[in-house]
Structure 1
Amino acid sequence: MSVTTRLPIADGRAVRRYVGQVAHRHPRLLWTALGLHVLAALTALAAPRLLGDLVESVENGTTRSYVDEIVMWLAIFLVLQSVLTRYARYRSQVMGELVLAELREDFVANTLALPVGTVEAAGSGDLLTRTGSDIDRLGWSVRWALPEWTIAVVSAVLTFAAALSVGWWVALPCMLALPPLVVGLRWYLARAKDGYLAETASYSQITTTLSETVEGSRTVEALGLGAKRVELCDDDCAKSFTAEKYTLHLRTVFFPSMELSYLLPVVGTLLFGGWLYTRGEVSLAEVTTATLYVQMLIDPVDRIVSILDELQLGAAALARLLGVAQVPDDRTVSGRVPSSEKLDAEDVRFSYVEGRDVLHGIDLDVGVGERIAMVGPSGAGKSTLGRLLAGIHPPRTGAVTVGDVGLVELPLGDLRGHVALVTQEHHVFVGTLRENVVLARPGSSDDAVRAALGAVDALEWVDLLPLGLDTVVGSGGRAVTAAQAQQIALARLVLADPHTLVLDEATSLIDPRAARHLERSLAAVLEGRTVIAIAHRLFSAHDADRVAVVEDGVISEFGSHDDLVAAGGSYAALWESWHGKS
């Protein structure tokens, strides 16, 4: 089974290394739980011995008081086993919850550290599946499968050792289980990991197709693509069905073969022990005890094998979660400090797909405090260039620098103090309005928050909220309009107070008159800062110091508004067309 995913998957060595690190971080919890499991398993081993002695005593003649004594000891060991098992599972589950919480925190940290370009290339489906179903599946493995498997392994080892303590001969019938057990396990484990990874990857593809269809529902409806999107979903479901059918086939072949390996040792022990008893080489108590021990082996061995299925799922989920941390960083922090706030791009080339550049050797010299407008047709590369100028993507060749230091050489925290990007995409998180705004600068005072909101003309509607800054917004809270959400995003920008701002259609969701008013209100805030505005509305270009016309991945014209209009080139045509309609 082949596995297709754009985010990496950790290999077996990385998974084992992580498990070892977890064990090293929590030795006390681990050894306490393991010790309790061992004690619980040891108490369970008393019953076959006691029952064997009881059978022997019945054959030789016994008393009621002896039978009562055996029953009393059986009850004592049963209660003791129950108590020890309860606390062993409790400690195991405590450790499981702790490990799962740490893994979730690591996963969130690794996900937030992913390069934006990697997230965009991978799509939302794979990451959402890892965040949702993979975490849930691993949680089930950590909370239930791993503790139960540990109990089963400890019980199986101690039970087998107890069976051998009856006599060496018990090992012979137990050997009958090895051929079907080894062959079955080798066959299953060689196929299970890839099968479950393919199954999980198919879920990611379904999520990706569904999320893209929902997010682009208006486009789907406008272009009549509904039938095609349904067909894509059907294809994804068919592939998922094939993947699940494959893993089901593995289970239907594997588990029946295991049943045979369980029964052979019990039958062999009973027959071989009975033959030795007829020869007078073993006692009836030994035959009974050995048979009961081998019978006891069935349950833990069955759980070991059965839970392997869950552990395979958990291991596949863990490999996918750990794989997020293996995405190479797209920046290398050099420790150099920018000498100024001057932003420059030199021979910048960039591609989203290898071999297909979307920017072709761009040079751009932005003066400190200068206002640059980037205009051009859709798909020309304006937004891509803006993202490079904000340090979101590293260039394929060339360099984008601030104060002669590459943007990708700066830690993200320092970078955002120099240059920040605001796009037409924005998000309002679940929480109070205050919490949403101070994301840019935690710990800011209410006065600072209100000043930032006032700078973007948001106080008029903020003051009408029932609880003001304490009003809960976002999903499940008070709904905000697209324009209000964009004002919140701009207020974060004001509060962050970077020296250079890259505005990529930052006011596109506000009607033209309101946008014009908003940009005028921002003028005081932007004073003294470098501003690079990407827009289709050419009044931004008219107000800029210089205008860069981007066409087909290159800057075709660069100069002041008046100079470019006078030149009669592409910008003059854009201005005439736009001005004639306004």
Structure 2
Amino acid sequence: MKKGLPVADRKTVWRETADLTRREKKVVAAAIALHVVAAVAGLGGPFLIGRIVDAVSKGAGASDVDKMALAVGACVLVQVLVSRQAQYLGHRFGERANARLREDFVARTLALPVSAVERAGTGDLATRSSVDVATVGNTVRTVVPTLLISAIQLLLIFGAVIVMDPPLGLVALAGVPTTAAVARWYLRRASPAYLMEGETASELTEALTTTAEGGRTVEALRLADERVAHGTEKIGRQWQARRRTLALRSVFFPIVEAGYALPAAAMLLAGGFFMRHGLSLGVVVSATLYVQQAIDPLDRVMIWLEQAQRGLASFARVLGVGMVPPEPRGEVPASNQRELIVRGARFAYGDGHDVLHGIDLAVRPGERLAIVGPSGAGKSTLARLLAGIDAPREGVVTLGGLAVTKIDPAERRRRIALVTQEHHVFMGSLRDNLAFAAPGATDDDMLDALVAVGADWYGDLPDGLDTELGDGVRTLGPADAQQLALARLVLADPHTLILDEATAALDPTTARRTERALAAVLEGRTVIAIAHRLNTAHDADRVAVLEGGRVSELGSHDDLVRAGGAYASLWRSWHG
């Protein structure tokens, strides 16, 4: 069973959130200051309306009332203008923070070891890179500024009521205990619920992705019913997770909404009582308006609090990608050391049984070695060990005397290249796709690489190297994509190449022509080819036969045919 990528704990999430804020502390401080000014200006309206009520009660003239009414308008105008600038700064911080989060996420993702990505599955990483990153971006851009503004407004509003009349201020807080209690109840349950929702979304994405990618296999083996049942089970898990978060919201919001009317009613009842003891009507009116004014920011806090929980859960998942230990920086072997040696290598996936059992193999520099054997013999697993993607459970794989997995990752990738039958065409031009392997390559270098692998389809492209590739533009077929991957290999120019069925998508004639062209271009380099087509083995310097995770035969093609063993049987079957 695949194990998902880790999830950051709450302490890490808050630490990273604080660090994100510190990077823009001047902008954040300015935005907070402006929000405070805007909130103070907003307090002027209810206060002045109360003064108007008292002035009218005392028989003040129209000119006095008009002046206070103009002052109310001035307060509203100041609040609008200052709020606009404060929101601009807040959104500016949000956009910059969002961009930084996305850049950091891409950097963390690219630093993941290939083995960690494969163990987690594409669904988990795809969900984190799309749904979770978007949720975090919305939280930083919208939710955080809204909560900040609303919190400032609430503090100043209730502070103003307490300053005007402390007893009324206590009455204004009548709804706080209920709201605080239900918020505490909600927050304790929301975070794990939303984390579970994210996990089930990853599982569903993984199920749908693997079914779609393996559609032909599913159809050929008549596994449609099984895959539908598997997908239905994942949909059911996500539905249960969604129902859990929905149940929390269905309790949280009605109680909060019901609590809004309590403070206003309490203010009017208490205000009538206090007026008998000398409190003015204007103070009661102002305090009641303040309480009514608090409903809007309080409502925003309650609504966006739910979104904040989604954002925190998604942020924990996004940060979890960076918790996977990166490949350690290792040593660099001497440039003239190219011998690849396997000694006593045993390997198992996870807690399963060993796939390889004590492999001993020495690949000489410049040698062409073919590895053949039945399906399930461990050929691709051995290729992964040779490329340093996985480390053997026992034994060692060395290049130039250093364990392959201890060589600096960047240096290892320059020296050893693994090409499988799974190839990706990136969105962008053909030039962009080729430049991944050699950023400094010229157009002539790229054209020579395409010619070397027999990519005749290049001549039919309307814009040459500038032709856009990918879904919705020009889609390359499996064979063309495989030749594109081989052209990248030519441009990368490593000294050791591991080809794991690298020409499997090509028809036999094209594959043969491509292999011969590659052999000419890669003359002098070490080539290890995992092959089902025995023509590849025929052309190799030596052939290693892998059976049951062990090397059963090793020698040249002619020697193994004369020996009459397993390879000879494979060769006779291949030729009928």
TM range (shorter): over 0.9
Confirm whether residue 450 of structure 1 aligns to residue 447 of structure 2: yes
Map residues 109-148 of structure 1 onto 2, 5 A cutoff.
109-148=107-146
CA contact (8 A) 1:5 1:126 kept: no
CA contact (8 A) 2:329 2:409 kept: no
Partner of 1:503, secondary structure, is strand
**What is the one-letter code of the residue matched to 1:391?**
G
- Residue equivalent to 1:57: 55
- Cα separation, 2, equivalents of 1:37 and 1:350: 61
Structure 1 consecutive aligned stretches of length 4 or more whose deviation exceeds 6 Å: none
Partner of 2:354, secondary structure, is strand
- Residue equivalent to 1:487: 483
- Residue equivalent to 2:147: 149
Deviations 1:363-387 (A, max 9, x none): 2111111111100011111011111
- Residue equivalent to 2:404: 407
Map residues 89-104 of structure 1 onto 2, 5 A cutoff.
89-104=87-102
Percentage of matched positions with identical amino acids: 49
Partner of 1:524, secondary structure, is helix
Confirm whether residue 524 of structure 1 aligns to residue 517 of structure 2: no
Return the match for 2:567 from 567, 571, 575: 571
Report the CA distance between 1:116 and its aligned residue: 1.4
- Cα separation, 2, equivalents of 1:379 and 1:77: 78
- Residue equivalent to 2:159: 161
Moved more, 357-366 or 382-391: 357-366
Report the CA distance between 1:26 and its aligned residue: 0.9
- Residue equivalent to 1:467: 463
Return the match for 1:16 from 5, 14, 17: 14
Return the match for 2:530 from 528, 534, 540: 534
Return the match for 1:268 from 263, 266, 272: 266
- Residue equivalent to 2:197: 199
- Residue equivalent to 1:354: 351
Report the CA distance between 1:220 and its aligned residue: 1.8
**What is the one-letter code of the residue matched to 1:142?**
V
- Residue equivalent to 1:243: 241
- Residue equivalent to 1:562: 558
Map residues 24-43 of structure 1 onto 2, 5 A cutoff.
24-43=22-41
Confirm whether residue 497 of structure 1 aligns to residue 497 of structure 2: no
Confirm whether residue 543 of structure 1 aligns to residue 539 of structure 2: yes
Partner of 1:45, secondary structure, is helix
CA contact (8 A) 1:43 1:81 kept: yes
Partner of 1:399, secondary structure, is strand
- Cα separation, 1, equivalents of 2:398 and 2:183: 57
- Cα separation, 2, equivalents of 1:479 and 1:133: 26
- Cα separation, 2, equivalents of 1:338 and 1:497: 17
Deviations 1:105-149 (A, max 9, x none): 111111122121222222221111112221222222222221111
- Cα separation, 1, equivalents of 2:465 and 2:293: 65
Partner of 2:424, secondary structure, is coil
- Cα separation, 1, equivalents of 2:396 and 2:162: 71
- Cα separation, 2, equivalents of 1:464 and 1:229: 39
CA contact (8 A) 2:333 2:399 kept: no
- Residue equivalent to 2:510: 514
- Residue equivalent to 1:333: 329
Partner of 1:374, secondary structure, is strand
Confirm whether residue 287 of structure 1 aligns to residue 289 of structure 2: no
- Residue equivalent to 1:229: 227
Report the CA distance between 1:336 and its aligned residue: 4.0
CA contact (8 A) 1:5 1:201 kept: no
Report the CA distance between 1:222 and its aligned residue: 2.1
Partner of 1:349, secondary structure, is strand
**What is the one-letter code of the residue matched to 1:537?**
R
Partner of 2:421, secondary structure, is coil
- Cα separation, 1, equivalents of 2:338 and 2:477: 35
Report the CA distance between 1:260 and its aligned residue: 4.0
CA contact (8 A) 1:333 1:408 kept: no
Return the match for 2:300 from 300, 303, 319: 303
Extract unaligned runs of 5+ from structure 2.
none
Map residues 60-79 of structure 1 onto 2, 5 A cutoff.
60-79=58-77
- Cα separation, 1, equivalents of 2:80 and 2:363: 75
- Cα separation, 1, equivalents of 2:566 and 2:308: 62
Partner of 1:509, secondary structure, is coil
- Residue equivalent to 2:321: 324
Partner of 2:105, secondary structure, is helix
Cα 1:216/1:336, change in 2 over 3 Å: closer
- Cα separation, 1, equivalents of 2:230 and 2:79: 55
Partner of 2:342, secondary structure, is strand
Deviations 1:273-316 (A, max 9, x none): 32122022x22222222222222222222221221100001111
- Cα separation, 1, equivalents of 2:502 and 2:347: 23
Partner of 2:112, secondary structure, is coil
Cα 1:151/1:209, change in 2 over 3 Å: same
- Cα separation, 1, equivalents of 2:342 and 2:81: 70
- Cα separation, 2, equivalents of 1:515 and 1:235: 41
- Cα separation, 2, equivalents of 1:379 and 1:65: 95
- Cα separation, 2, equivalents of 1:51 and 1:494: 79
Partner of 1:425, secondary structure, is coil
RMSD of aligned C-alpha atoms?
1.7
Partner of 2:259, secondary structure, is helix
Cα 1:401/1:5, change in 2 over 3 Å: closer
Deviations 1:403-425 (A, max 9, x none): 11222223332112211011111
Report the CA distance between 1:8 and its aligned residue: 0.9
**What is the one-letter code of the residue matched to 1:17?**
R
- Cα separation, 1, equivalents of 2:554 and 2:402: 24
Cα 1:57/1:5, change in 2 over 3 Å: farther
Report the CA distance between 1:251 and its aligned residue: 1.1
CA contact (8 A) 1:199 1:240 kept: yes
Deviations 1:156-212 (A, max 9, x none): 111121111112213321343233123212211111011111122222222112112
Partner of 1:556, secondary structure, is strand
Report the CA distance between 1:7 and its aligned residue: 1.2
- Cα separation, 2, equivalents of 1:481 and 1:305: 52
The size of the alignment, in residue pairs, is 574
- Residue equivalent to 2:179: 181
- Residue equivalent to 2:170: 172
- Cα separation, 2, equivalents of 1:252 and 1:468: 58
CA contact (8 A) 2:158 2:172 kept: no
**What is the one-letter code of the residue matched to 2:236?**
A
Confirm whether residue 365 of structure 1 aligns to residue 362 of structure 2: yes
CA contact (8 A) 1:176 1:261 kept: no
- Cα separation, 2, equivalents of 1:229 and 1:479: 27
**What is the one-letter code of the residue matched to 2:79?**
Q
Cα 1:152/1:210, change in 2 over 3 Å: same
Report the CA distance between 1:259 and its aligned residue: 2.9
